[in-house]
Amino acid sequence: MDAEGVQRQALSPMPELLSYWFNADDGLTMCRYINETIAGMVAVVPERFYGLGMVPLQDPELAAREMATLKRDYGLQGIEVGSNVNGVPIGDPRFEPVFAAAVEHDLAIFVHALHPAGMERVIGPPIMAALVAFPNENAFAVASVISGGLLDRYPQVRIGFSHCGGSFGLVLPRMMHGWRGLGDKLMAKSPLEYARTLYYDTLVYDLPTLNHLRELFGDQQLMVGSDYPFVIRERRPGHWLGELELSEQQRDQLAYGNALRFLGVE
C-alpha cells in the first residue's frame, strides 16, 4: 500500500469466494469464516483498513438476518455481492430483504461481476473474460437495480459497482431514449436520476472515458478502485488525479470523500 500511495483500503472477498452455489448452511459457514478473516485483518491495522463482508444470497431471508451481525460482531462497513446469484440478477425482487437489511443496519453494498452471461461468446485466452464479459455483466447488474424498482422502495440504500458500472455508461443513453418514449410505463423516474444515486469505482483505465463518466454520473458518485490483486489491477490507484483539472473539493471527493460516504464512515 505504501509503495503504491494508498493510505486506506477497503478489503473485500474475492468474488469466487461468495459461494452462491453452496447450499445455504454451507454458504453461511463460508460467509462467517470470510467475515471473521476480514475483521481480523482490519483489527491488526484499523487505521489503514475498512472491511466488506459477505452473506449467503442463495437464501435471501437468511442473508438478511446475517446482515445484523456485520457491524455488531465483525465491525464491517458492508457487504460485497455478486452481479447475479446463480443466474438471477441482483436487482431481482427476491433479494429485497437484503437491501432492506442494508438500510436498516446502515451497510454499504458493493457489486462485483461474477460468472458473466455470454461467456461462451468470448474468444481468446481466459483473461478475455475479465476484459470483455465482466464489463457487460456489470451493466446488466446496474440496469437490474434501476429497472427492478429497488431504488424506489429503498432510496437510502448505498450501492456501489465495480469497474465504473462496466458498459453501463453506454447503455444508459439507450435507457434514457426508451424512457422518454415510454415514461412511467418503463420506470417511475428518469434512468439517469437513478444512476446518479449509485456509486461507481473509477476502473476504466482511460482518462477520456473517465471524464465522460464523471459528467454522466457526477464526481460525487465516483471512488478510486484498484482491482487488487488481479492481473488487470490499476497500479498506483488514483494516480490520474494529478492529470485532471479538479478543484480541491473535487479531488478530495474522488480520492477519499465519496468512498467514506459510501462506507458510512464520514
DSSP, collapsed to helix, strand or coil, labels residue 223 as strand
- Name residue, grid cell 489491477: 233
- % residues pLDDT > 90 (the chain): 85
Q: What would the mean pLDDT of 50-70 be, rounded to a whole number?
A: 98
Which pLDDT belongs to residue 48? 93
Q: Tell me the pLDDT tens digit for each residue of 165-190.
A: 999 999 999 999 999 999 888 999 99
Lowest-confidence pick of 3-7, 123-127, 164-168, 177-181: 3-7
Angle between helices 134-147 and 168-182 (to 10 degrees): 30
Residue 185: partners with Cβ closer than 8 Å, 6 or more residues away: none
What is the CATH number that goes with domain 9-263?
A: 3.20.20.140
pLDDT above 80 for 245? yes
Would you say 68 and 98 are in contact if contact means Cβ atoms under 8 Å apart?
Answer: no
pLDDT band of residue 1 (cuts 50, 70, 90) is confident
For residues 185 and 112, the model is more confident at 112
- Name residue, grid cell 476480514: 38
Strand residue runs (E) in 38-167: 49-53, 78-82, 84-85, 88-89, 108-112, 158-161
pLDDT above 90 for 221? yes
Neighbours of 209 (CB within 10 A): 12
* pTM summary value: 0.95
Show the cell assigned to 141.
447488474
The widest CA-to-CA distance across the chain, in whole angstroms, is: 54
Mean pLDDT of the chain: 94
DSSP secondary-structure letter at 120?
G
